[in-house]
Amino acid sequence: MHLSRPKMLFLSMSFLLVIFGAPITQSIIELARRERPQWIDILLQSPTASNLRRFENDLERLSWFSQKLQPVMRYLQFVVLKDAGEKAILGKNGWFFYKTGVRYLTEPWPPRGHSPQKYDDPLPAILRFRDDLLKRGIQLLVIPGPNKSSIYPEELTSRAENTSHPIYAHTIRVMDQLRANKVDMFDLFDLYSSRKSHLRCYLPQDTHWSPEGMHLAARTVAETLVNRGWITKGNNQFDLKPVTFARYGDILRMLSNPRIERRYSPEELHCTQVVRSQDGEPFSPTLNAEILVLGDSFLRIYEQDEPKSAGFTAHLAYELQRPIAAIISDGGASTVVRQQLSRKPDLLTNKKVVIWEFVERDIRYGLDGWKVIPLSQSPAI
């Protein structure tokens, strides 16, 4: 097709405007603010890979176009295409899902064409930890925590509504390996699957369990410890205090877009705070308690976040009427909590039981993988 000279000139100028318009506008804005134009930084640094990467990240972070136009484009992308961005997936009925948790369920593992030896296997780390604790006379209870998408796949997609079998096949294989090696384990998957028809176990806007789901887990774990004879119930040390508050879920906040948040209402949550019977003070962990709980953000929510002292650790203490010790690390339940414990072996003094919770997606994507962490020499008991 033949274009006239004016049309060619117009297209060329439009192309140049698209290419150079953003950096020229950014430079004008920076000069108006009496700032040095950011592009000068690239001339003052050695052209190394790290410097170029840092410049690119700063360029994206500080760009006026990024700050002003990107949220608008992401909002339109959400409204028109139902695309929730890099970290989230919009499900049905206002439910949001953490994209990493869905990836865990849907992507092959190990990735096709890769050797399994390149990827961490949780089994050696769990067995070594179990054996090191048994040498000290301490029982270990392992609790793999379900992703929300494992329990509520029908809220993620209509194609899962008539699914008759669990979709978390990789987790089932890991749990079968643990059972074959006689690792004591609490099956939260089976518990939630059997109760979800009349109990909402997870928050629609959040990655974590609901207060009701958390209460159920704490109560049933306490019953398990007592029934196995690992621990006995104590005397009346804790009471419950009802608390109601509203919050936006963490997945909705991950979008970092106030326009999208305003389309939804914060979730009203009814919690029960655990308080000491003697003085009404909120529950707090006790280092020399006979029970130690290790875990991730599933233990942080309601406990260290609002309303505080209302999470799994506090409710386990209430159900057992016993003090509890805890090590909590967001995303670090696979390795970081054991590293912290190894550096502070005195935390195992007087312990009878260790409860280790980790969310199932950490089987693949846990922070620092699944390192074998030998415990230090046995502390005095």
Q: What is the pLDDT of residues 169-204, one digit of tens each?
A: 999 999 999 999 999 999 999 999 999 999 999 999
Domain that holds residue 34: 11-62
Mean confidence (pLDDT) of the chain: 86
Task: Give the CA distances from residue 145 to residues 61, 187, 272, in Å, rounded to whole numbers and listed in that order.
Answer: 35, 9, 22
Residue 78: predicted pLDDT: 86
Tally Cβ neighbours within 10 Å of residue 180.
9
pLDDT confidence tier of residue 325, bands split at 50, 70 and 90: very high
The predicted pLDDT at position 236 comes to 84
Nearest to 302, CA basis, from 211, 212, 239, 221: 211
Contacts of 124 (CB under 8 A, 6+ apart): 370, 372
Rounded CA separation 245/64 (Å): 36
- Same domain for 154 and 47: no
One domain, residues 249 and 324: yes
Residues 155 and 246 in one domain: yes
**What tens digit of pLDDT does each residue of 68-85 get?**
567 777 888 888 888 888
pLDDT recorded at residue 380: 43
The amino acid occupying position 75 is: Y
Residues 115 and 28 in one domain: no
Higher pLDDT, 109 or 93: 93
Strand order in the sheet with 325-328: 139-145, 353-359, 291-295, 325-328
Q: Is 137 domain-assigned?
A: yes
In a domain, 90, yes or no: no
Each residue of 132-176: pLDDT tens digit?
999 999 999 999 999 999 999 999 988 877 776 788 999 999 999
pLDDT at 165: 75
Lowest mean pLDDT among 117-121, 149-153, 330-334: 117-121
Tell the residue number behind the tokens 């008991």, with chain if given: 381
* Confidence at residue 243, expressed as pLDDT on a 0 to 100 scale: 97
Structural domain contains residue 73: no
Instruction: Look at residues 285, 298, 217, 321 and name the one whose alpha carbon lies nearest to residue 250.
Output: 298
Residue 53 tokens, joined: 């990467």
> Do the domain assignments include residue 113?
yes
Total number of domains in the chain: 2
Is pLDDT larger for residue 119 or for residue 320? 320
| Whether pLDDT at 3 is above 70 | no
Q: Are residues 198 and 276 in the same domain?
A: yes
152 in the same domain as 37? no
pLDDT given for residue 38 in this prediction: 58
Q: 306 in helix, strand or coil?
A: coil
Tell me whether residue 79 is in a domain.
no
Give the pLDDT band (50/70/90) at residue 326. Answer: very high
pLDDT at 34 over 90: no
155 and 302 inside one domain = yes
Q: Which of 46-50, 197-201, 213-217, 243-247 has the lowest mean pLDDT?
A: 46-50
Lowest-confidence range among 18-27, 244-253, 301-310? Answer: 18-27
Q: Tell whether 69 is covered by a domain.
A: no
Query: Which residue has better confidence, 18 or 253?
Result: 253
38 shares its domain with 159: no
Cβ(276)–Cβ(283) below 8 Å: yes
Confidence category of residue 120, pLDDT binned at 50, 70, 90: confident
Q: What average pLDDT score do residues 204-211 get?
A: 98
Beta strand pairing call for 325-328 and 353-359: unpaired
pLDDT at 248 over 70: yes
The reported pTM is 0.82
**110 and 57 housed in the same domain:** no
In a domain, 327, yes or no: yes
pLDDT mean over 326-341? 95
Mean pLDDT of 302-311: 97
Same domain, 114 and 39: no
pLDDT-based confidence at residue 234 (cuts at 50, 70, 90): very high
- Closest-CA residue to 189 (of 156, 222, 145): 145
Q: In this structure, are 58 and 117 located in the same domain?
A: no
Q: Per the structure block, which two tokens stand in for 220?
A: 């049933």
Q: Is 313 helix (H, G, I), strand (E, B) or coil?
A: helix
DSSP characters for 83-126?
---SSEEE-STT-EEEHHHHHHHHS-SSPTTS-GGGS--HHHHH
Please report the pLDDT score of residue 249 as a whole number.
96
Given this model, what pLDDT does residue 5 score?
Answer: 72
Residue 271 lies in a domain: yes
Output 86 or 45, whichever has higher pLDDT. Answer: 86
Q: Kindly state whether residues 303 and 157 are assigned to the same domain.
A: yes
Determine the angle formed by the axes of helices 211-227 and 188-195, rounding to 10 degrees: 130
